[in-house]
Structure 1
């Protein structure tokens, strides 16, 4: 999953890059501030019509955003924002404000909804650890890799492996990168291209998979806002329905598919691929690759464990079936029909019951096969759960700042100064652009969601009410835009640890990976922005997505060049 995005530079090249990145961050923050500025004719607003804190209600989220951008530390930044809000509602007493911030955090964790979502994150990731320890993940990847015959098929199977391992971006980076690295090397696929393929099927896929370790967090973000705003409906259903509006992820996956099937590239990636095909140098001269450390022995299956693809398929089936079944049960099925049950379901209950049941069944599956000892499987479960600890902490602190922002009336103030000129139709586009900037500069999708969701959903609700529009009209595009903007940075920021892990497990120079991948991410971002612009102009969803996708495809073929397909160990190529 997506914990704090931070790493220590390992070379002078990375030091220089990070210093430049921080300077760029200062410039990019101006773009993030555009959202507040648009909401801003603040000082000219009628104070009588505004909440009691007026323009100062913007202080907690703005400080949290600025600290995220400048320090790259998400949890302390979110807490400081909560502390400022607590101070404001405590008659500006910072000591009482400190206590109020902590109270918001424990109230969020102590809430039954929050506790269930937190537990789901741990249990679902623990189940992934069991699948790794029992050999299920290895079997799935190995089954894909047996049919490779050329560099193109090596890239295609890398993409497919990343999509198949859809439930956890860390697992995608670690397992697919490690497994496909020797295969792609033998077919002269550059390290830059391999790390791009792995990175592009990590976070972008996990966020829209429907059932993944990300889902609990994303549903939790929606559910909190629905509960506080009194919006009826299932948060899980809203998440599922928002997936077609997560334009960046969908277009990024389209782009990586075009790259693989067409054997074309552009920019620095084109030079890297032509170098690898012609000379066999999968790394440029002078590159400093991030070498992956040995895998955690508790997550490595024993050598004598047979590769059974069913050991990957069955746990996924368990998870899907149990979660869907519990959604129906909590919604009143069979007393009510399927559609009504899904609409009235309790997603947090379904997620926690379903993930626990699937974890138990997965443990039993591997133990009955004697794939590993029970103690080894339990260690895998614990190591898997540990992997999402920091991400779970971000979740808790994000809920805390959500409560804090509500207490000072940030959304109400923004509405009071924007309701006469801010159209609900433009909120998805503004949300996506702001999310792109924040996530790129902080490297965390979770932190970006935690900052944006408690602002834009209440803002949309109140602006829609002021405009006489049903709140659900632009809810799905707005929620989708939050997720899309947040994933952009997770996908390509140099301080995103998914990006770093892709470099590490693929054996790529990290800066080379970032430099070659960033043009592709920006192109997909432009296409997504075009899609949200079409939404603002009144086009329907599918046409908006088609416009964005067509723009990206046309631009890609216009600027890209052909790369030969390496088809044999003897060096034969074909155009």
Structure 2
């Protein structure tokens, strides 16, 4: 694949443009013909996979996840009805933008970006980074510190991806750690850690889903969720693998090795990163004493965690309360005027626009895949192979593939659980083990997918492109997935 990318880059720009146009026209013709030859009411079957496969192929070649997702969405809409593509596209984006989850994601990520910009402008983030530099004496310590901070910020993967990166980025830069490795460590302690802690947004969502699907009595969803935590294998394995990487016991290989060599030569940022950095959007306005600066950084972080917990793990309410108190703190101290702080919050939204656009496009692709019946098709194909012993491993593989291809770590399971649960009951499978496999698959997909919300936010926070982050961490993610599959096979025959 790297050779393909090099060839594409070596082509003269005009020829490259012409080739891109020809490939696009060929894809449109293919999906148009599928639409013409499809009988109304007939299931799409294996053809439902094509839009997602197109997205993955284009993303690998172009390294542009947002544009790849849009092409996949349009291709899917052509398949569904080639006479109403424009109307279907506008209806889809309107439905997605009106989705409660998307509204929540946009507000949380935008306001989190605003908080980080305020921490930068006030000089508090620099104070905390300087304090860390005074205590961290080696490259290995900087990586382990990132790992352990990631374990502590377990309430939400979004909070983890944005807050941890802002905290340690200047320290890891000082020790010549590539932004790709930073993104990998952050991403590996986001979703994999969140599923293992019952006090997280993931636990709240999935425990509610268990109750809705009669896997738990009303009010008992969290108890059932907690019983499955020991079987959420991928979460445990991913944490072990990333610890080995951070401690240096598992070395660099593949694309990560090249990224680390570049960083050791004095360039932590990858060549293909053209996005906005938080620090670029928010220059430091004022220097404060280290003690005051540290308090002005630590207090908002503690308020954010405390307020989120107080409001039943609702990060949106937590960030709103935190911003209100932080703005008041900085204004009273004379660090920043109200006007500067409001502008800073909007700058944070601006920095988050591209990652949010990618997340929104991912939700659009999920909507198209739902219409095509992709998830149902994949599960139905594997269903005849499922026995009580093999079902945990097969559920992990199938749902991991679904989430990897759709970037929908939560939404896919709303469709999949009503299909998987009756099969599990029919073969008398261990339900706690099946729930653990489902959560492991969700965590893996969020972690590994090139255009998932966790991937794009970890990349944005660390300061690298989503594709650079995804490709450099892929070998380590694959190791975790293979080990998890093997463990699920063993558990299926022993538990």
Q: Into which bin does the TM-score normalised by the smaller protein fall?
A: 0.5 to 0.7
Q: Any residues of structure 2 matched to 1:100-499 within 5 Å, and which?
A: 100=88, 102-112=90-100, 114-150=102-138, 152-157=140-145, 159-160=147-148, 167-169=159-161, 172-173=164-165, 176-182=168-174, 184=175, 191=176, 195=179, 197-208=181-192, 210=194, 247-258=233-244, 261=247, 264-266=249-251, 283=264, 290=271, 296-307=279-290, 308-327=293-312, 350-407=314-371, 409-412=373-376, 418-423=382-387, 426=390, 429-430=393-394, 432-433=396-397, 447=407, 449=409, 453=413, 456-464=416-424, 466-467=426-427, 474-489=434-449
> How far has the Cα of 1:133 moved from its partner?
2.9
Q: Deviations over 1:295-325 (max 9, x none)?
A: 6454233342333333333223222322222
Q: Which residue of 1 aligns with 2:15?
A: none
> How far has the Cα of 1:484 moved from its partner?
1.8
Tell me, yes or no, if the aligned pair for 2:245 and 2:251 is still in contact at 8 Å: no
Q: Deviations over 1:327-381 (max 9, x none)?
A: 2xxxxxxxxxxxxxxxxxxx7xx34333322222222233233232222222332
1:64 pairs with 2:48: no
Tell me, yes or no, if the aligned pair for 2:395 and 2:438 is still in contact at 8 Å: yes
Alignment partners' CA distance in 2, 1:296 and 1:384: 10
Give the length in aligned residue pairs: 439
Tell me, yes or no, if the aligned pair for 1:411 and 1:459 is still in contact at 8 Å: no
Alignment partners' CA distance in 1, 2:414 and 2:71: 15
Tell me, yes or no, if the aligned pair for 1:128 and 1:384 is still in contact at 8 Å: yes
Q: Deviations over 1:147-186 (max 9, x none)?
A: 234554455445446656772435645653333323x2xx
Tell me, yes or no, if the aligned pair for 1:69 and 1:438 is still in contact at 8 Å: no
Alignment partners' CA distance in 2, 1:138 and 1:108: 38
Q: Deviations over 1:269-296 (max 9, x none)?
A: 9x989x99xxxx9746999964999864
> How far has the Cα of 1:84 moved from its partner?
5.2
Alignment partners' CA distance in 2, 1:394 and 1:236: 32
Among 63, 73, 80, the alignment partner of 1:79 is: 73
Among 22, 34, 42, the alignment partner of 1:53 is: 42
Mark the CA change 1:533 to 1:136 in structure 2 (over 3 Å): closer, same or farther: farther
| SS, match of residue 95 in structure 1 | coil
> How far has the Cα of 1:229 moved from its partner?
6.3
> How far has the Cα of 1:460 moved from its partner?
1.8
Mark the CA change 1:464 to 1:194 in structure 2 (over 3 Å): closer, same or farther: same
Alignment partners' CA distance in 1, 2:173 and 2:268: 16
Alignment partners' CA distance in 2, 1:99 and 1:198: 42
| SS, match of residue 311 in structure 2 | helix
> How far has the Cα of 1:205 moved from its partner?
1.9
Q: Deviations over 1:98-134 (max 9, x none)?
A: 5345434433433445534443333334333333333
Tell me, yes or no, if the aligned pair for 1:432 and 1:485 is still in contact at 8 Å: no
Tell me, yes or no, if the aligned pair for 2:232 and 2:440 is still in contact at 8 Å: yes
Root mean square deviation, CA, Å:
5.2
Tell me, yes or no, if the aligned pair for 2:188 and 2:242 is still in contact at 8 Å: no
Q: Structure 1: where are the runs of 5+ without partners?
A: 1-11, 21-50, 88-92, 185-190, 328-346, 540-575
Q: Deviations over 1:363-417 (max 9, x none)?
A: 2233233232222222332222233334434444444454554455555555655
Which range moved further: 460-469 or 361-370? 460-469
TM-score, scaled to structure 2: 0.67
Tell me, yes or no, if the aligned pair for 2:113 and 2:348 is still in contact at 8 Å: yes
Q: Which residue of 2 aligns with 1:28?
A: none
Mark the CA change 1:430 to 1:448 in structure 2 (over 3 Å): closer, same or farther: farther
Alignment partners' CA distance in 2, 1:434 and 1:416: 10
Q: Structure 2: where are the runs of 5+ without partners?
A: 11-39, 60-64
> How far has the Cα of 1:470 moved from its partner?
8.9
Alignment partners' CA distance in 2, 1:71 and 1:451: 23
Tell me, yes or no, if the aligned pair for 1:457 and 1:475 is still in contact at 8 Å: no
Q: Which residue of 2 aligns with 1:527?
A: 483
| SS, match of residue 299 in structure 2 | helix
Q: Deviations over 1:462-493 (max 9, x none)?
A: 433554669776234313322223313569xx
Alignment partners' CA distance in 1, 2:403 and 2:183: 15
TM-score, scaled to structure 1: 0.59
Mark the CA change 1:394 to 1:306 in structure 2 (over 3 Å): closer, same or farther: same
Tell me, yes or no, if the aligned pair for 2:403 and 2:442 is still in contact at 8 Å: no
